[in-house]
Structure 1
Amino acid sequence: MTHETDRSDTAVKVTFNGLILNVVLTIFKFIAGIFGNSSAMIADAVHSFSDFVTDMVVIVGLRAAGKPADDNHQYGHGKIETLCAAFVGIALVFIGLEILVNGLSKILLVLHGENLEQPGMIALAAAVASILVKEGLYRYTLKAANAIKSDAMIANAWHHRSDALSSVGTMVGIGGAIILGGKWVVLDPLAAVILSFVIFKVAFDISYKNINELAEAALDAEVVEDIVNTIISTEGVRDFHKLKTRKIGTNIATDVHIQVDKNLSLIEAHNICNEVENRLRSKYGKESILYIHCEPDM
């Protein structure tokens, strides 16, 4: 089993476990929202359903990304995972927007003298259960994502946390409505509006990073600097130019022209290229995609 296949299997297993819990949680929220007379909990259930959709997208993407390189995809399928992570980030934008608009509309209703329906205890219990389950899924998914360095899974972990955060607002609103009653029902939409901006921030960070990768952005300045130091500190390398960097899935990709003593034999020059390559692979992984062109130093 290849490294990429093993990595893909781990990612799919973790994401599938999250999907199953999302399905159970979504059904429970819908039931609690209907029988607990809570429009906030029904909206929260819709949010959980969106997690189910993105889980499916991530599973399909990770399966595809785990396939080895072939004649049509000679650099592998890593970009599919990046595309899925970008999709999750964009989905978070729309979810945050939905929560914001829904919260503001309820606040306007209260300001115009209308009363929102007081929810039941089952809705509060569902909100508490949602926070615990979704925060647990966030930690479980993020731990696995960091272990296998999966941007798609990191994005999905934050999607879990966004659901937990929205459920905090739901819990505060429902709890305030039950305990205080009357106009205090406005606590629910007010908390939702505040939390929507937290979701927007997470969505921006995830989307920007992964869309940048799809646009073939260079690696972070710190990584590029380290690559440069690795190249120029290799014995036999006199200079370099035309360095290009990017990321393909979880792997770095570099193109560089190194300059060596023009009096070296072809074998000696080739050995210097191999040394540069080996040093970079030892730092950035065996799956790194490296193209090193050797030129005489004139």
Structure 2
Amino acid sequence: MDNVLKRGYEARKVTRIGLVINVLIACMKLLAGFFGKSSAMIADGVHSLSDFFSDIIVIAGLRLTDKPEDACHNYGHGKIETLVTVFISCLLMIAGFYIMESGISKMIGVIQGQELLRPGWIAFFAAIFSIVSKEGLYVYTIRAGRRINSPVLIANAWHHRSDSLSSIGTLIGIGGAILLGNKWVILDPIASVVVSLFIFKVGYDIIKPAINELLECSLNNEEINQIKDILDRYSEVKSYHKLRTRRIGRKIAIDVHTLLDKRLNIVEAHDIANLIENDIRALFGDISIINIHIEPFL
């Protein structure tokens, strides 16, 4: 199994584990909200269901991403992972908007004299369990995403954390209502509005590089300078130009025109080009797409 297939397999395995955990957590929250008479916990359970649906979309997207190149997709299907990353980021920001809208409406209701139900302890402990389990799932998923360089896994990890953050707001509201009395129920919507702002920030940070990739944005300056350092390492390379770079999912695509000493024969020039390719692949991974055009230096 090559590295691309290994990465795809590991990404799907991590997501499938998350899918099972998300289903269990969502069911637990809904039951705890019903029996604990907590509307906040029921809303939190509905939010958890979005993680379940996002996991299904991630698994489907990763399967399509791992398809090999074909006549219509000469560079593979890596951009599907980028599209899924954008979709997950949008779900994340929609979840943030839902949490903010719910929090603001509850704050207005409390200010206007609306009395919220005082929840039971079962909802309180369900919120604690949700925070711990979702934080664990976040850590597990984001570590795997960084290890295999998968933006969609990283985005999905932050979706898990958004559920954990929303549960913190729910925990504060439920705990305040139980321990301090009904007048402190307003702590729940206040905390949820603050949490929603963090969710918006995370969603923006994830979607920005994904959009840039879809728009064929170049690698960052540090990565481009690393490529230039490799080219400068070879004395046979007298100059180079038309250095172009872009990302295709987990792949890096690089095109460059090199001007080599005209006294080199075609075999020697080809060997130099191969050495440069190997050095770049050692830096960016063996699935990199590298095209080196050779020209004589006059």
**Which TM-score bucket, shorter chain as reference?**
over 0.9
Q: Aligned with 2:216: secondary structure?
A: coil
Gaps in structure 1 of 5+ consecutive residues: none
RMSD across aligned positions (CA): 1.1
Shift of 1:278: 1.4
Q: Does 1:175 align with 2:169?
A: no
Match in the other structure for 1:234:
234
Shift of 1:264: 2.3
Which deviations, in whole Å up to 9, do the C-alpha atoms of 1:169-192 show, x marking residues without a partner?
A: 100110001111122000000000
Q: Does 1:215 align with 2:205?
A: no
Matched residues in 1 for 2:6 and 2:73: separation? Answer: 19
Shift of 1:232: 1.9
Maintained 8 Å contact 1:88/1:159 = yes
Matched residues in 2 for 1:36 and 1:259: separation? Answer: 73
Match in the other structure for 2:166:
166
The amino acid across from 1:250 in the alignment is R
Match in the other structure for 2:107:
107
Shift of 1:209: 1.2
Equivalent pairs: percent with the same residue?
51
Matched residues in 1 for 2:278 and 2:242: separation? Answer: 20
Q: Aligned with 2:293: secondary structure?
A: strand
Maintained 8 Å contact 1:253/1:289 = yes
Matched residues in 2 for 1:235 and 1:84: separation? Answer: 43
Maintained 8 Å contact 1:5/1:67 = no
Alignment length, in residue pairs?
Answer: 298
Match in the other structure for 1:81:
81
Shift of 1:262: 2.2
Match in the other structure for 1:247:
247
Superposition map of 1:106-125 within 5 A:
106-125=106-125
The amino acid across from 1:64 in the alignment is L
The amino acid across from 1:193 in the alignment is V
Gaps in structure 2 of 5+ consecutive residues: none
Shift of 1:240: 0.6
Q: Aligned with 2:218: secondary structure?
A: coil
Deviating 4+ runs (over 2 angstroms): none
TM score, norm. by length of structure 1: 0.97
Shift of 1:148: 1.2
Q: Which moved more, 1:259-268 or 1:104-113?
A: 259-268
Matched residues in 2 for 1:27 and 1:278: separation? Answer: 51
Q: Aligned with 1:219: secondary structure?
A: coil
Matched residues in 1 for 2:245 and 2:22: separation? Answer: 38
Matched residues in 1 for 2:28 and 2:62: separation? Answer: 28
Shift of 1:210: 0.9
Match in the other structure for 2:47:
47
Matched residues in 1 for 2:282 and 2:142: separation? Answer: 25
Matched residues in 1 for 2:162 and 2:234: separation? Answer: 46
Q: Aligned with 1:291: secondary structure?
A: strand
Shift of 1:250: 1.1
Maintained 8 Å contact 1:234/1:275 = no
Q: Does 1:19 align with 2:36?
A: no
Q: Aligned with 2:72: secondary structure?
A: coil
Superposition map of 1:112-151 within 5 A:
112-151=112-151
